[in-house]
């Protein structure tokens, strides 16, 4: 009862209600909120702290920036959403805030477009070597839709493409990436699509900023071939999976395109089943048969594994053979 009363007291002030609405639309820094509200930074910071202490806002750090977002998990997240939904859509002050928020959104999209333009040629070259990415996404959607997934984590989210593709099939989706530039692109893409159940966070795939046993599914899409220690990435993914949680790894089958290592920083020229299965077993995951999407010259493989349920029979000794 006291938690509920504390949250309601924190929200019961005009500026803090405005803050909840703004943070429901997009991740915002203190300086961006100051730009919208026209209030001093110390005052805005005090309001944000009260809302964060009450559990109505989440906060995360990216370098020297701290982003605030409407809480999404648990009872506090449900209450925060209920409060925001109860605010009239025709409130003139809220509408003015949202118009100013559009200026910040446009600035983000401009920065994202500039970064994407600088790197698009490289990405397009790689994509031309394998099966259409939309076919990969369709297969992922089929796999995800077969399960009851509430919390999804996408490791090495890049432009946020996988988070965006799976957003309608999960309760909440979070993408993690180490590159601030890529997070700018991903955040702009998700905001443009108005996906309020999606967020991106700065984080290292070897040491995820997430609690253990907190996600129903983890995806690792076209990331492992960049990793120096793929087994460690899979082990960290296993750590954050709930009992029964699913791991989906999308990457290339073994190939001999050496120039991808030299020109595009690929540490691994694809993987075979034995490698991925062994790393999953070392992480105490049950492995399942992979899905194969043949391309020319690169074949995409979707490897799957899951965290044994508490009291289950333990982890299996593999399935599927090795492909050269």
Question: For the segment 5-45, what is each residue's pLDDT rounded down to a tens digit?
Answer: 888 888 889 999 999 999 999 889 999 999 999 999 999 99
Quote the pTM value.
Answer: 0.76
**Pairing assessment for the beta strands 172-177 and 151-155 based on DSSP bridges:** parallel
Residue with tokens 């599927």: 320
Contacts 24+ apart (CB under 8 A), 56-60: 56/7, 56/10, 56/11, 56/20, 56/80, 56/83, 57/19, 57/20, 57/23, 60/201, 60/202, 60/209
pLDDT band at 121 (very low <50, low <70, confident <90, very high): low
Question: For the segment 93-109, what is each residue's pLDDT rounded down to a tens digit?
Answer: 999 999 999 888 888 77
Is it true that domain 129-306 has CATH number 3.40.50.300? no
pLDDT of residue 316: 38
Cβ neighbour number for residue 266 with a 10 Å cutoff: 18
Average pLDDT of span 226-234: 93
CA atoms of 91 and 61, how far apart (whole Å): 32
Residue with the bigger pLDDT between 321 and 38: it is: 38
What is the domain class of 2-101 according to CATH?
mainly alpha
Question: For the segment 145-174, what is each residue's pLDDT rounded down to a tens digit?
Answer: 888 899 999 999 999 999 999 999 999 999
220: part of which helix (H) or strand (E)?
A: strand 215-221
pLDDT of residue 129: 83
Q: Among 250, 244, 249, 213, which Cα is nearest to 306's?
A: 244
Does the pLDDT at position 320 exceed 60?
A: no
In the chain, CATH 1.10.10.10 sits at 2-101
Residue with the bigger pLDDT between 315 and 7: it is: 7
Does the pLDDT at position 288 exceed 60?
A: yes
SS3 11: helix
Does the pLDDT at position 124 exceed 50?
A: yes
């Amino acid at each position: 009862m006291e938690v509920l009363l504390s949250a309601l007291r924190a929200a019961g002030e005009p500026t803090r209600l405005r803050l909840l609405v703004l943070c429901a639309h997009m991740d915002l820094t203190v300086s961006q909120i100051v730009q919208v509200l026209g209030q001093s930074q110390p005052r805005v910071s005090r309001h944000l702290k009260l809302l964060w202490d009450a559990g109505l806002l989440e906060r995360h750090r990216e370098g020297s920036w701290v982003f605030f977002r409407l809480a999404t998990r648990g009872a506090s997240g449900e209450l925060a959403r209920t409060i925001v939904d109860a605010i009239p859509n025709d409130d003139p002050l809220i509408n003015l805030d949202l118009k100013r928020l559009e200026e910040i959104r446009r600035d983000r999209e401009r920065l994202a477009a500039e970064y994407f333009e600088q790197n698009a040629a490289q990405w397009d070259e790689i994509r031309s070597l394998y099966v259409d990415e939309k076919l990969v996404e369709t297969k992922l959607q089929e796999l995800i839709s077969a399960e009851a997934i509430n919390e999804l984590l996408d490791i090495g989210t890049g432009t946020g493409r996988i988070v965006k593709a799976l957003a309608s099939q999960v309760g909440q989706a979070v993408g993690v990436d180490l590159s601030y530039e890529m997070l700018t692109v991903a955040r702009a893409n998700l905001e443009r699509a108005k996906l309020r159940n999606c967020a991106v966070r700065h984080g290292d795939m070897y040491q995820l900023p997430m609690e253990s046993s907190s996600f129903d599914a983890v995806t690792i899409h076209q990331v492992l071939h960049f990793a120096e220690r793929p087994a460690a990435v899979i082990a960290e993914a296993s750590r954050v999976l709930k009992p029964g949680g699913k791991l989906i790894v999308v990457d290339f089958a073994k190939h001999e395109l050496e120039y991808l290592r030299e020109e595009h920083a690929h540490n691994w020229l694809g993987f075979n089943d034995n490698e991925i299965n062994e790393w999953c077993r070392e992480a105490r995951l049950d492995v399942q048969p992979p899905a194969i999407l043949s391309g020319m010259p690169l074949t995409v493989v979707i490897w799957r594994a899951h965290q044994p349920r508490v009291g289950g029979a333990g982890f299996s000794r593999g399935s599927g053979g090795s492909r050269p």
